[in-house]
Each structure stands twice: as structure tokens, then as C-alpha cells.
Amino acid sequence: MNPAFVVLVPARLASSRLPGKPLADIAGVPMVVRVARQAAKSGARRVVVAADDESIAEACRRHGVEAILTRTDHASGSDRLAEACELLALADDEIVVNVQGDEPLIDPDLIDAVARMLMGSPAAVMSTAVHPIDRAEDFSNPNIVKAVLDQSGHALYFSRAPIPWPRDAAAASGSAVLPPHAAALRHIGIYGYRAGFLRTFPALPPAPIEACEALEQLRVLWHGLKIAVHVSALAPGPGVDTPADLERARSHFAKG
């Protein structure tokens, strides 16, 4: 049985690479609505879009998706989620799963797994997901975030660098190589939170490692808090960051 939880989908109208991205048409439906409908296939008791513009909220309501209007000046998605927790009056122990507004093909089972991971990890304030990396070029790509876990499945570190670094194998080959035993893990950008922690997270001082790596989740680890990590056997569905990504998503839904 899946734990009861809420999915929040933060949606910003501005996008440097794809202006108006949440409202981009995908087979006759705005992308953010596609995301919410996909998330509704999970075990979530409620799916809510946290929009920064009335046009997004109105598009959601027109398609039967619950939406709330949040401030336009939030520095990050987690700040927007914290405001959403207040607007929705969520209890501190409520599990909240953050599904990005540009993931129309997200697997509902992955959403459930991230929620279950946090429910089963009382020492953690957050949960997230990873999957094994099977290509050396992905391991060395700084745009692909890597994670290292401890024996309990909690995150030790996230980095854009290739970690853990297989020192002897790399020295012998003279180039980047994958570590053995599926130790290379790619971070998937989905997060579970306890609503009480979400309310306090924006007030935590930013961490030096967070600024260095440009990875907000490192603030949690720097302050000594735990992130529980679900290891998925499969890579997630592709997100939409560019016009080419959008065309691929359109093709997928057109076939359906």
C-alpha cells in the first residue's frame, strides 16, 4: 500500500530556453496539465500545481487540475513549495513529492517509490531517486549529477564531478571509466519532503558546497540532515528543456 501523500508541481512562466514552457501545447493540452495528469496516476491523494502566474492557474482549472497562485519572486522551486504548504495548510508530517513541471512522461511508480522511501526513513527529512549509470561519457558529463550513498541508502554527497572516482582503473586507462559494481548513480530530479521541513528549508543558510556545485540539495547535507535515496532500475522519462525536447514529447502523445 502506498502512503498518503500530496504531489506539488511548481510552475514558472519564465524560461530562458523555452519561454512559456508550462503552457506549451502538447497534443492539445498544456504541458503542466500533462504533468499533473501523469502524477495523478500515482498513489497521491492530491495533485496541486503551484503557479507563479494566473495564466498557468487558469489553464489548469480549465482542464480540471487543482492549482494555487504563489508569489513571483521566489528564488527557487523549494521556496515556492514552502509557500504552497502554507497556502494548503498541510500538516507538518504530511509527505510532499515535488514533481517538476516539465516532466510530462514521469513514471507514476517513481513518484510512489520516492514517497514510500521517505515514509520508511524516519531519520530523513527528504527523499529522492537515482539510477545506475552505464556509460562512461555520462559518468564524466558535468550536466549529469552523480550521487554516492551510504549503507543505509542515505545520500553522502551529490556532485557534477564523476564520483566515486575509480582511481586505479582510471590511472590504468588514462581516461574516465565507470566504477565497478554499478557504483555510479545518476541523480533523478524528484524530491519527497516532510511538509514541516519544507517550511523551514528556505530559512537554512545556503552552503558553500551548494554554491560551488550549483546543487540546492547539498544545503541539506551540509546542515547535517539526511536524504533517503530510492535506487531505480530504470532511467526516468525525458524532461522538456529545449524546443527539440518539446517536439519529442508532442510526438509521444500524438501517437497515444
User: Tens of pLDDT along 185-234?
Assistant: 999 999 999 999 999 998 999 999 999 999 999 999 999 999 999 999 88
Residue 16 is predicted with a pLDDT of 67
Residue 148 is predicted with a pLDDT of 97
How would you classify residue 49: left for phi > 0, otherwise alpha for psi between -120 and 50, otherwise beta? Answer: beta
Long-range CB contacts (< 8 A, 24+ apart) of 20-24? 21/101, 21/102, 21/240, 22/51, 22/56, 22/59, 22/101, 22/102, 23/55, 23/56, 23/59, 24/240, 24/246
Indicate the pLDDT class of residue 1, thresholds 50, 70 and 90: very low
Who's near 247: CB < 8 A, 6+ residues apart?
none
Weakest-pLDDT range from 23-37, 94-108, 160-174, 214-228: 160-174
Residue 256 is predicted with a pLDDT of 65
Indicate the pLDDT class of residue 174, thresholds 50, 70 and 90: low
* Percent of the chain whose predicted confidence (pLDDT) is above 70: 96
Is there a contact between 24 and 30 (Cβ–Cβ < 8 Å)?
Answer: yes
Report, as an integer, the average pLDDT of 3-8: 88
Mean pLDDT of the chain: 92
Say if residue 15's pLDDT is above 80: no
> Domains along the chain?
5-255 (3.90.550.10)
Positive or negative CA dihedral for 116, 118, 119, 122? positive
Say whether 204 sits in a helix, a strand or coil.
Answer: coil
Indicate the pLDDT class of residue 235, thresholds 50, 70 and 90: confident
Residue indicated by cell numbers 499533473: 36
Residue 62 is predicted with a pLDDT of 97
pTM: 0.93
Beta bridge partners of 129: 188, 230
Tell me the C-alpha distance between 101 and 56, whole Å. 11
Say if residue 167's pLDDT is above 50: yes
Tell me the C-alpha distance between 85 and 221, whole Å. 22
Say if residue 177's pLDDT is above 90: no
Q: What are phi and psi of 222, to 5 degrees?
A: -60, -30
Say if residue 3's pLDDT is above 60: no
Tell me the C-alpha distance between 227 and 153, whole Å. 9
